Amino acid sequence: MAETKSDILQGTLDLMVLKTLDAMGPLHGYGIARRIEQLSEDAVLVNQGTIYLCLVRLVQKGWIKAEWGTSENNRKAKFYSISKAGRKQLAAEAANWARVSGVIGRLLQLSAQR
Amino acid sequence: MWTRLRQTIARLHAFFRTSDLDRDFDTEFQSHAALLVEDHMRRGMNAEQAERAARLELGGLTQIREAHREVRGVPFLDTLFQDLRYTFRTLRRDASFTTFAILIVGLGIGASSTIFSVVNALLIRPLPFRDPGRLVWIANSGGENDLSGQTVTVGSFLDLRAQTKSFSDIAAYYAFYGVGDKKLTGDAEPERLTGVPVSQNFFPLLGVQPQLGRSFTTEECQGNHPVVLLSAGFWKRHFASDPGIVGRKLTLNDRSATVIGVMPSSFDFASVFAPGTRIDLFLPLPLTPEVDREGNDLSMVGRLRPGATVRQAQAEAAVLSEPIRVKHNRDELRFTLSPLEEHVSGRLRPALAVLACAVGVVMLIVCANLSNLQLARTAGRQKETAIRVALGAGRGRLIRQMPTESLVLSCCAAALGLVLAIAGTRVLARLDAISLPLRESVHVDPAALAFTLLTALLAGLVFGLVPALQVRAGAVHDSLKDASRGSSEGMRRHWIRATLVVSEIAFACVLLVGAGLLIRSFLRVLDVNLGFRPERAAALRVDPGSQYNTRAKRVAYFEEMLRRVKSVPGIEAAGLTDVLPLGHNRSWSAGAKDQVYSRSHPPPDAFVRIVSDGYLKAMGVPLRAGRDLTEHDNASSKPVILINETLARALWPGRNAVGQIVQYTDVDRQVVGVVEDVRHLALEQGSGCEMYLPIRQTDDYSSVDLVVRTAMPLSALASAVRGALRPIEPSLPANEFRTLQELVDRAISPRRFVVMLLAGFSVFALVLASLGIYGLISYSVTQRTQEIGIRMALGASAGDMQSRVVLQALRLAALGTLIGIAASWILARALSGLLFGVSSTDPATFLGTLIILTVVAAFAGYLPARRASRIDPMMALRSN
């Protein structure tokens, strides 16, 4: 497994999952993976299975909730939704992200000017 | 914070529900795959293509499941449990090794924990009193050994208590309480009880509260108030822990006394102040002038004021003692202080240290032995290791396997050891025959539990470490090389194993020398000329009742008793004494009439015994000169005395003592006989001066023992004597006969205790060391089957092979013994305080150890040697 990719972006993946669930409401693993693939243009997930590693971690942290439901093709699937704590975390992470990217952005501009 | 905690709990939870969660995950994964397949098919792939694409995109189920498990669970625990499962499987397969390992480590741990419990009770755990560190034993150092010299008078005690600034209070108990002084009569069988008179502040000073009722009042300790406190043991034994006991009246020595309370079971006077005895009652000690006139008879315990040290208190007491001595006109008064804890168990410290070291050495031998076995096992498990490596087991995992196995073994062994330790301490706590202080409080407590666990972990690590390092060094290459056909064992591994065996032998040698020295000392002690013959003699308490209130009545009672007892068939001799050997002692000064004494040249102190005629014969004390006492040495005849040889030499050196006059404060006594010295204090101690006064010529005794010499068994003797005495003593307590041998046995019991344990340890060590030799030689014979076969094919005889193998064993033994003997030579000096009649470099012991080890090593080598000599060269060369 090419771990470097997912290692670097692990924190980012958490944020992505949270944001996806926040924006789109309850989704099953396939839906989330699809969505992230579309948005990231396949940069994050080496293969879709790894999304479950992120999901179980977030569930254990209490940021998302999982419930058994039925998928479009009538199969048993787990639907994930963001929890209250997850929303809080999302807000904090988003703010942090904005700040970091702002700093990095300014820094890069600075070096470009020279 | 919360998130972390939540996650940890969830992970642990997940760890225990692995299979459930795996199933959940599989379901989820499969529906994901189905969705993906459908998607692809919608985009125009056929079913086969879609499934392939989906699998590529999604990843393998097994890998993701593994990763999922790792993320949600506790991977460390997972591998640990895997290792443990694997370990248990391996150990089950190797049942004989497992049993043997658990057994020897269990025995080792059991012994260590038991000894630790004893050491803990005696040396580490504080005494069961309030703030015991501030309690100080205050002795009078007037005499070396006898109780009279160590105690003080009531007056001295009161003065010291009044004048001291270092102590917040000082309490005392009456040291000359007699064992069995109080005869309890009434509803049940009459019984002799032992009561200790204590000062009013004794219990408050120690910080002990009665569990029922109350302590003594000041008023009760002033006059002769008939009140008693019961010890917890007596209350339980005699009154079945009756909660309504307070206020009951008991008849003690024909007088009524009221029970005012019961002491708690945590307070065991005897185990602290008088090991090996039993205390039933506590009585108020009246600090009156009458008691003062009895002379030195109080033992003192003080409680230091906050901030004061024993040293300051000692300095102060040294200053106070001289004026107090002069005021009370005593010959000797020098207060000598020591922390109470030291007084109680200080004397046992060297013996316990020896035992603790011995048990540590035993544990080392156990570890060496197991290391060796584990090494042999790793050698035999190379195929298994190779397969594991081939299957992708990491080196770390392989190295970890050995310590895991060792720890599992040692933990199982710890369970066994704990059971043994609990049993051992229980037995020890109940062995009344051993007079160790605080013996009753020896038990496996949390500290001992922790110690056991720690020992197990440490042992597991130690004996798992060497084989684990071996895995690293050996790796796969060596194993391939070693396993190739026809080659012998790798030198390196053999070298490690030989070193382990040699160290085992060396350790066993040290233990054997130590045990040998102590056993020889013990035998010397048993061989000591006691001055009396304890075999076939027994004693019975026969204090005259209160109705015999004049000397004439008492003498008549004694005469009648002796006449009746002597008429019992089978009784060879009978006599009376006030003290039996190896018990309490008192001494008086005894000077020769023709000498002038002063303070700088005092008369010698001599132990006093008040005896009747027939006593010497009953005890078997040989008469050296003059005559024995007779029934005519009575109140109306000339005062006489018997003295021992030491006193005779001290008073009239080089002269015949018979016919000389011994002078006392009140009366002059003529020496009529000289008897052999009797060891009254301890078997290991010389006798000192002794004198015997006729019981018909004095009233100065507080108890009377009847001593009889007979070949009858104790039970027959008891009923015969009771029958003979019934007319004059109807309420003779039952089963009170003690053989004199019991007294001797009790006196040597601490020594016997140490010797037995040490002997046990060294036998265990010897067995382990011989197993070590046997294991190594046997293994090397197996490894060299082919070599031996070749040698024999080339003409070596069976005898050659046999002697070669035995010599190999003997070389190991010789090296180990050499190191062991050298170490013992140095270490044995630490034992010198425990030795008696044997020097720490006793040649016989060292030679004996040498012989034992050689014989054992030869035998351990002979068994594999015989096997080697029976190897059939054809078979050996063809096999493998």
Q: Which of B3, B58, B68 sits opposite A62 (nearest CB)?
A: B3
pLDDT in tens, B26-62: 888 888 888 888 888 888 888 888 888 888 888 888 8
Distance from CA of A67 to the nearest CA of B (A): 11
Residues B548 and B697 in one domain: yes
Task: Indicate the range of A79-93, B109-123, B595-609 predicted with least confidence.
Answer: B595-609
Q: Which residues of A touch B34 (CB under 8 A)?
A: 73, 75
Give the pLDDT confidence score for residue A91 in this predicted structure.
92
Residue B589 lies in a domain: yes
Q: Is B237 on the interface with A (CB under 8 A)?
A: no
The reply to whether residue A78 touches residue B64, judged by beta carbons under 8 angstroms, is no
Quote the minimal CA–CA distance from A110 to chain B in Å: 38
- The last residue of one of the domains, among B309, B333, B357, is B333
The answer on pLDDT for B140 being more than 90 is no
A103 CA: distance to closest CA in chain B (Å): 28
Question: Is residue B503 domain-resident?
Answer: yes
- Cα(B152)–Cα(B545) distance, integer angstroms: 29
Side-chain half-sphere of B819: how many Cα atoms within 13 Å? 15
Other CB atoms within 10 Å distance of the CB of residue B839? 12
pLDDT of residue B513: 93
pLDDT of residue B879: 64
Question: Could you say which of B31, B59, B71 has the minimum Cβ distance to residue A56?
Answer: B71
Report helix angle B395-430 to B446-483, nearest 10: 140
Average pLDDT, chain B: 84
Residue of A nearest to B14 (CA): A60
Question: Which residue from B71, B599, B131 is spatially nearest to B329, judged by alpha carbons?
Answer: B599
Question: Do the beta carbons of residue B663 and residue B538 sit within 8 Å?
Answer: no
Q: Are residues B705 and B662 in the same domain?
A: yes
> What residue of A is the nearest CA neighbor of B3?
A61
**In whole angstroms, what is the distance from residue B151 CA to residue B856 CA?**
54
Task: Report yes or no: B55 at the A interface, CB cutoff 8 Å.
Answer: no
- If one compares B14 and B365, the residue with the highest pLDDT of the two is B365
Cβ neighbours of B28 in A, within 8 Å: 28-29, 52, 77-78
Q: B122 lies in a domain? A: no
Among B139, B130, B127, CA closest to B300: B139
CB proximity B219 to A under 8 Å: no
Residue finishing a domain among B41, B56, B73:
B73
If DSSP states are collapsed to H, E and C, what string results for B522-540?
HHHHHHCCCCCCCCCEEEE
Chain-chain contact of B59 with A46 (C-beta, under 8 angstroms)? yes
* Chain B residues close to A75, C-beta within 8 Å: 30-31, 34-35
pLDDT above 60: residue B437:
yes
The per-residue pLDDT for B230 is 92
Which chain B residues touch A47 with a CB distance below 8 Å? Answer: 56-59
Q: Is B32 on the interface with A (CB under 8 A)?
A: yes
Given a contact cutoff of 8 angstroms between Cβ atoms, the answer to whether A46 and A5 are in contact is yes
- Which two structure tokens, joined as six digits, stand for B789? 């076969």
| The residue count for chain A | 114
Q: How far apart are the first and last CA of chain A?
A: 40
CA–CA separation, B780 vs B484, rounded Å? 16
pLDDT of B151 higher than 80? yes
pLDDT-derived band at A4 (thresholds 50, 70, 90) equals very low
Pairing state between β B281-284 and B195-198: parallel
Nearest Cα to Cα of residue B40 among B27, B31, B55, B51: B51
Q: In chain B, what percentage of residues exceed pLDDT 90?
A: 16
Residue type at B271? Answer: S
Q: Is A87 on the interface with B (CB under 8 A)?
A: no
Q: In terms of domains, do B814 and B679 share one?
A: no
- pLDDT for residue B512: 93
User: Is the pLDDT score of B486 beyond 50?
Assistant: no
- In tens, the pLDDT along B242-255 reads 888 898 888 888 88
Do residues B170 and B319 share a domain? yes
Q: Which residue(s) pair with B653 in the sheet?
A: none
**Is residue B778 over pLDDT 70?**
yes
Report yes or no on B127 lying in a domain: no
Which two three-digit tokens encode residue B617? 């014969």
Alpha helices for B232-330 (secondary structure H) = 232-239, 269-273, 289-293, 310-328
Spatial distance between the Cα atoms of B237 and B228, rounded to a whole number of angstroms: 16
Chain B residue numbers with beta carbons less than 8 Å from the beta carbon of A73 are 31, 34-35, 38
Check if the beta carbon of residue B546 is closer than 8 Å to that of residue B793.
Answer: no
Which amino acid belongs to residue B247?
A: G
Per-residue pLDDT band at B276 (split at 50, 70, 90): low
Q: What are phi and psi of B134, to 5 degrees?
A: -95, 5
Q: What is the mean pLDDT of residues B306-323?
A: 88
Residues in A closer than 8 angstroms to B12, CB to CB, are: none
Cβ–Cβ below 8 Å for B59 and A49: yes
- Closest residue on chain A to B33 (Cα): A30
* DSSP letter (8 states) at residue B654: T
**Cα distance from B5 to chain A (closest Cα, Å)?**
9
Q: What is the pTM of this model?
A: 0.75
Tell whether B278 and B308 lie within a shared domain.
yes
Is B58 an interface residue toward A (CB < 8 Å)?
yes
User: DSSP E strands: which ranges in chain A?
Assistant: 27-28, 64-70, 76-82
SS (H, E, C) B567-596: HCCCEEEEEEECCCCCCCCCEEECEECCCC
- The verdict on residue B78 lying in a domain is no
CB-CB under 8 Å, A29 with B64 = no
Instruction: Tell me what pLDDT residue B185 has.
Output: 77
Residue B43 lies in a domain: yes
Same structural domain, B547 and B522: no
Sign of CA dihedral B731, B733, B735, B740: negative
- Residues B694, B582, single domain; the answer is yes
Q: How far is A97 from chain B (nearest CA, A)?
A: 20
CB < 8 Å from B in window 37-76 of A = 46-50, 52-53, 56-57, 59-63, 71-73, 75-76
**What single DSSP character describes residue B178?**
P
Q: 71-110 in B: which are within 8 Å (CB) of A?
A: 71-72
Res. B310: pLDDT tops 80: yes
pLDDT tops 50 at residue B506: yes
Written as six digits, the tokens of B586 are 């008192």
User: Contacts of residue A49 in chain B, CB cutoff 8 Å?
Assistant: 29, 32, 58-61, 63-64
- Ranges of beta strands (E only) in B225-280 are 227-230, 249-252, 255-262
- Between A21 and B601, the more confident residue is A21
> In this predicted model, which residue has the larger pLDDT, B323 or B472?
B323
Q: Among B3, B34, B68, select the one facing A61 at the smallest CB separation.
A: B3
Evaluate whether residue B79 is within a structural domain: no
Q: Using CB atoms, pick whichever of B6, B14, B64 lies closest to residue A52.
A: B64
CA nearest B27: which of A35, A31, A70?
A70
Tell me, yes or no, whether B488 lies in a domain. yes
Q: Is B62 at the interface with chain A, CB within 8 A? A: no
Among A1, A63, A77, the residue with its CB nearest the CB of B28 is: A77
Q: At residue B229, does pLDDT exceed 70? A: yes
Over residues B484-499, the mean pLDDT reads: 65
Q: pLDDT at residue A34 above 70? A: yes
CA B310 to chain centroid: 29
Which has more confidence, B555 or B380? B555
Is it the case that residue B489 has pLDDT exceeding 70? no
Query: Which chain B residues are within 8 Å of A29, Cβ to Cβ?
Result: 28, 32
Of B11, B34, B67, nearest to A73 by CB-CB distance is B34
Q: Which residue has the tokens 């009396």?
A: B532
Rounded mean pLDDT of A89-113? 85
Which stretch of B19-28, B378-387, B758-767 has the lowest confidence by average pLDDT? Answer: B378-387
More confident residue, B24 or B490: B24
A3 has a pLDDT exceeding 70: no
- Interchain CB distance below 8 Å, A1 and B11: no
pLDDT at A113 (0 to 100):
55
> Are B288 and B354 members of one domain?
no
The distance of B31 to chain A (nearest Cα, Å) reads 6
Q: How far is B32 from chain A (nearest CA, A)?
A: 5
Lowest mean pLDDT among A95-109, B318-332, B486-500: B486-500
Rounded mean pLDDT of B796-817?
A: 88
Stated as kind and residue range, the H or E segment containing A53 is helix A51-61
Domain assignment of residue B45, given as a range? 2-73
Per-residue pLDDT tens over the stretch B653-667: 888 888 888 887 667
* Residue to test with chain B: of A56, A67, A80, most B Cβ within 10 A: A56
Distance CA B870, CA B804 (A): 14
**What's the pLDDT score for residue B516?**
92
Rounded to whole angstroms, the Cα distance separating B748 from B435 reads 9
Residues A46-59: b if buried by 16+ CB within 10 A, e if exposed:
ebbbbbbbbbbbbb
Helices B843-869 and B491-527: angle between axes, nearest 10 degrees? 140
Considering only residues B191 and A6, tell me which one the structure prediction assigns the higher pLDDT: B191
Label residue B659 exposed, middle or buried (CB < 10 Å: 0-12, 13-18, 19+). Answer: exposed
Pair B590, B647: CB distance under 8 Å? yes
Give the integer Cα–Cα distance in Å for A70 and B327: 106
Q: Tell me, which fold does domain A3-113 have in CATH?
A: Arc Repressor Mutant, subunit A (1.10.10)
Domain termination site, one of B701, B731, B761:
B731
Same domain assignment for residues B680 and B797: no
* Residue B266 confidence class, pLDDT cut points 50, 70, 90: confident
Regarding predicted confidence, which is higher, B467 or A37? Answer: A37
Domain count, chain B: 4
Q: Is the pLDDT of residue B416 over 90?
A: yes
Residues B430-436 have a mean pLDDT of: 73
Give the residue ranges of DSSP H helices in B381-445.
Answer: 382-390, 395-430
Q: Does B56 touch chain A (CB under 8 A)?
A: yes
More confident residue, B389 or B450: B450
Which residue spans within B697-800 are E strands per DSSP? 705-710, 738-739
Ordered by start, the domain boundaries in chain A are 3-113
Q: Average of pLDDT values for B501-529?
A: 91
Reduced to 3 states, what is the DSSP secondary structure of residue B182? strand
- Residue B41's identity, in one-letter code, is M
Please determine, for residue B587, whether its predicted confidence score (pLDDT) is greater than 60: yes
**Mean pLDDT value across residues A13-40:** 87
Co-location of B169 and B205 in the same domain? yes
Helix (H) or strand (E) holding B755: helix B749-783
Contacts of A53 in chain B (CB under 8 A): 64, 67-68, 71
